[in-house]
Each structure stands twice: as C-alpha cells, then as structure tokens.
Amino acid sequence: MAEQANSSGLEDEFATLHEFVKAAKMKLSPERWDYVVGAAETETTLKRNRYAIDSMAFRPRVLRDISAIQCTAPVMGKKARLPVMLAPVGGLERLDPDGAAAAAKGAGLFGVPQMLSSVSAPGLEATAKASSGRKFFQLYRRGNDQATDEIVDRAVDAGFEAFCYTIDSAFYGRRERDISRRVSNRSIIDDGGDYRQQSLSWSEVKRYKDKHGHKLPLILKGIQTGEDAAIACDHGVDGIYVTNHGGRQLDHVRGTLDTLPEVVDAVRGRAQVIIDGGFYRGTDIVKALALGADTVAIGRLYLYGLAAASSMGVARVLEILEHEIKTCLGLLGLDGFAGIDKSFVHPAPSLTMPHVHSAFPLLNLADEGYGGR
C-alpha cells in the first residue's frame, strides 16, 4: 500500500509520540494534568495495564512479501484507516476550548471513529456537526427510561452509528490526585443530575435491544470477565468493550490485555471486541489484535495530542501511530491484519517499570511523567 499522505501539517513540530506528552504537560495546569494522567487510589490498575502489554513479546516471521502493507481494518463493521477509535473521555473542554468537537475533527480528518462521552462538551449535536467522520455515542445513564430513549433518538438523528453504555461506574473511583488538590472532576455525579448508574442491570440491556436494537448497535463498555462477556452476547450485544476505565475506577484489577483472552474465548465471534487500557504505541495495537481484539480504543494518547495542538494534534498522533503499526506489521512478516493471530506473540518478562508513561523512555520521567508536578 502506498504511504497515505499526512494531513495534519505537524510533521516537523511533532516527530514522535512522546513529544506530545511534553507539550501537553507544558500547556495544562497541574490540576488538569493530574486529571489526564491520574488513576484510582494506589494507581495499581493503571500500572498493570502497561505491565500486561510489556509482558508480551513478538514472534516475527521472515521471508514473506511485505512490499504492500495494508493497515486498514473494519471497526464495528465498516472500514477504518486503522483498527483504532478514540475512547470516550469526559471533560475534553478542559483540554481544548472546542472540546469533543476538536477531537471529532481530528479523528474524522485522519479516518477513524470517535466515541463521544455524554459528559464532554459541546454535546451530542454540536460534536456531530464538527466532523464528517464516523461517530459512536457513550452514555452514563441518568434519568428514567424516557430520558434514555430521547438520547438514543437524538443520537440516531445526529448520525451516530452505535450506542454504548458505560457499565463500570456505579461508584466514582477515588482518584487521589484530584482529592489531594481538593478538585472535583466528578461531573457525571456532582452536577445535580439524576445519576442512575447504580441501578443499571441486564434488564436495561434487554430493554435497549428490544426497543432500540434495530436503530443502533449496542456496545457495553466495562466488561472485564469472560462470564460477563458471555452474558452480554446472550443478550445480543453487538460490541464487548474490555476496559478498566484506564485504571480510574476499581484499583487492583487485571491489566486489560491480561483480561482479553478469556473475553475473546467467551465471545466466540458473536460480537466485536474493543479494548483500551494503556495502549500508546503501534506495537501495543498489534499485540491486542494478535490476541483477538477487533479494535483498540486510545484514550490518554489522543488527549495529549488534543491538549498540545487541538484537532490537528489528534490527527498527527494517529499519523505517527499508523507509521508505527505499519513498521511493526512489516517486521512481523505481515502485510496486514488479516493474517494476525496469537502465534505472533508470546509471554515474556517485562523489562520496564510500569507507569502511565513507561511507553516513552525518552521522557524525563521526573519532570514529565508519573507524579511529575
């Protein structure tokens, strides 16, 4: 495949991904920086996300024709430039004045979908208008059934292609970076709305599928066991989103890449499998697909691009990620994702002390990384 042209215009300013981390930290206040990089309590879950990825080594094959490498892959049934999407993140307006609309523009410009968080300004319709790219909508359930139904209809009218419930947020994780600064980022709970995540159950999944399943495919975000993945598939769920909320909810759970194999085994091809959790590099994306994921959602990584250079920053992050993925595929002896499977990876000891930026060894971690002030 011929190299696709870059369209961000930031090739000279940002040549590597870690440069976005540095630029974002320089632009953000300490409180907003902590919001981006922090996690719950001891931040063990965040570290385990990286440890799981770093504890998987490649088994490259040689003497294969890789003169034409194809990085495109389907995301929720339709072709995307990469098997990647932007994860839903609340409060994007804290990182860029245009918030989720700027992220949508960057994703659309590059050619991957955005999943919009219901707690990110400027909201559903305005974000949809900002980009011609593909869009999925994520909801924290609030209000009664009628309120949810109205949001589904608004999403359909605005051109969203899938609907997602976040299901791991019955309680808001204790994010001690925020607590220690006496800063509240709990917008989904603290704004006086009728927060109903604690009453969310499989009955609501059934209700959605019965009433809205013909309108928008349903994704469940927050599945961390094979048992729950199987139940979701039995309910006809279209997308199984493996995540621990970037380590920001329950502390001391497994890294998502450790969780992935049992979920894939339980799903048995009945739904698309999406994963996030510490995925920062092209090699990370390839490992996830080798272990059975269909799509990788990036979170913090695109936030650095957004904070550093708005929508063009998001697009440039994706351009670099694409280059890394193509290089990885080629050196594995693959001309695309069609032939990838678990034979290309093998467990191996991690050689890196895991933390939020351990994927970027060129950072001065005392200044730019985990706990930097």
**Residue 128 structure tokens:** 């949809």
**How far apart, in whole angstroms, are the C-alpha atoms of residue 333 and residue 336?**
9
Residue 342 CA to residue 93 CA, distance in Å, equals 39
Task: Please tell me which residue in 18, 212, 245, 355 is annotated as part of the active site.
Answer: 245
Peptide bond preceding 349 in cis form (omega within 30 of 0): no
Concerning whether 357 is annotated as a catalytic residue, the answer is no
Nearest CA among 24, 151, 133, 126 for reference residue 84: 133
> b/e per residue, 119-134, with b = 16+ CB within 10 A?
bbbbbbeebbebbebb
11 burial via Cβ count (<10 Å: 0-12, 13-18, 19+): exposed
CA–CA gap between residue 139 and residue 145 (Å, rounded): 13
224 residue type, one letter: Q
End-to-end CA distance of the chain: 43
Q: For tokens 């892959």, name the residue.
A: 73
Looking only at the bridges linking them, the beta strands covering 239-242 and 114-117 are unpaired
Measure the CA–CA gap between 42 and 253, rounded to whole angstroms: 12
Alpha-carbon distance of 14 to 198, in angstroms, equals 43
**What separation in angstroms does the CA of 250 have from each of 44, 45, 222, 224?**
10, 8, 11, 11
SS3 of 219, please? strand
User: What is d(CA 63, CA 112) in angstroms, rounded to the nearest whole number?
Assistant: 31
Instruction: Tell me the CB-side half-sphere exposure of residue 183, using CA atoms within 13 A.
Output: 14
Active site residues: 245
